[in-house]
Amino acid sequence: DVKVTQSSRYLVKRTGEKVFLECVQDMDHENMFWYRQDPGLGLRLIYFSYDVKMKEKGDIPEGYSVSREKKERFSLILESASTNQTSMYLCASTPEEGWHYGYTFGSGTRLTVV
Amino acid sequence: AQTVTQSQPEMSVQEAETVTLSCTYDTSENNYYLFWYKQPPSRQMILVIRQEAYKQQNATENRFSVNFQKAAKSFSLKISDSQLGDTAMYFCAFLNAGGTSYGKLTFGQGTILTVHP
């Protein structure tokens, strides 16, 4: 089975800190995605990547950046964490061939910014 | 841009009964895919069922089935013989097969389903 692993299940950070959320997938998927999940808003796309060194803005990229130096790893970076970035963050991946069968998700990182 | 709307924030059902979760979407595209995902308290998103827009036949997966009405842009999920393990948040999602939003899943707001014993 494809596995998408997010390094932290819970994270507490202070306002202004630089925060790294890590995601690793083990099935050689080309496409990777970062979403945030908030009550009443569902999942919203932050950034995505179709290949190494490639990144595209999603619907809510402000305050975030990403890095994809290796195919299996996609990092979400909060340059200066703010309280309104307190949320659940979900990483997902999908292969280039078969992307239309849906995503495989990690189990999420619940980030609290205090 | 596509939008997905789930108008039922919460639903509840008795064990062994049937429940239907609603989803509507808006798109100008003709070729797309629709999904229902389940997120239990463990937070792991699980694919429940998938529908291809160009197929008239409604998808079914064991106790889960959909009512896909393309003209009405409606995609409801029916859960038969509900089980306690069905308790979860359910998300409806749209995946465009082309255009500028190709390959990106757009989600609805989610419906919390509680199955009571």
pLDDT tens-place string over residues A47-81: 999 989 889 999 999 999 999 999 999 999 999 99
Tokens 């919203």 sit on residue: A44
Subunit contact B91:A94, Cβ cutoff 8 A:
no
**Chain B interface disruption, residue of A33, A43, A87, A104, most B CBs within 10 A:** A43
User: What distance in Å separates residue B53's CA from the closest CA in chain A?
Assistant: 12
Subunit contact B45:A31, Cβ cutoff 8 A:
no
A109 pLDDT band, cuts 50/70/90, is very high
B61 pLDDT band, cuts 50/70/90, is very high
- The contact set of A with B (CB < 8 A) is 31, 33, 35, 40-45, 48, 50, 58, 88, 90, 92, 94, 99-103, 105, 107-108
pLDDT recorded at residue A101: 83
B64: contact with A, CB 8 A cutoff: no
User: What distance in Å separates residue A34's CA from the closest CA in chain B?
Assistant: 11
Q: What do you get for the CA distance between the two ends of chain B, in Å?
A: 41
Q: Across chain A, where does the E strand assignment appear?
A: 4-6, 10-13, 19-21, 23-25, 31-38, 42-49, 56-57, 64-70, 73-78, 87-94, 104-105, 109-113
CA atoms within 13 A on the CB side of B51: 26
Least confident span in A28-42, A97-111, B63-77: A97-111
pLDDT recorded at residue B30: 86
User: What distance in Å separates residue B72's CA from the closest CA in chain A?
Assistant: 22
Query: Taking residues B47-63, what's their average pLDDT?
Result: 94
Sort out which chain B residues have CB atoms less than 8 A from A88's CB and list them: 43
B7: contact with A, CB 8 A cutoff: no
pLDDT recorded at residue B1: 75
C-alpha to C-alpha distances, A77 to A17, A38, A89, B34, B44, nearest whole angstrom: 10, 18, 11, 30, 22
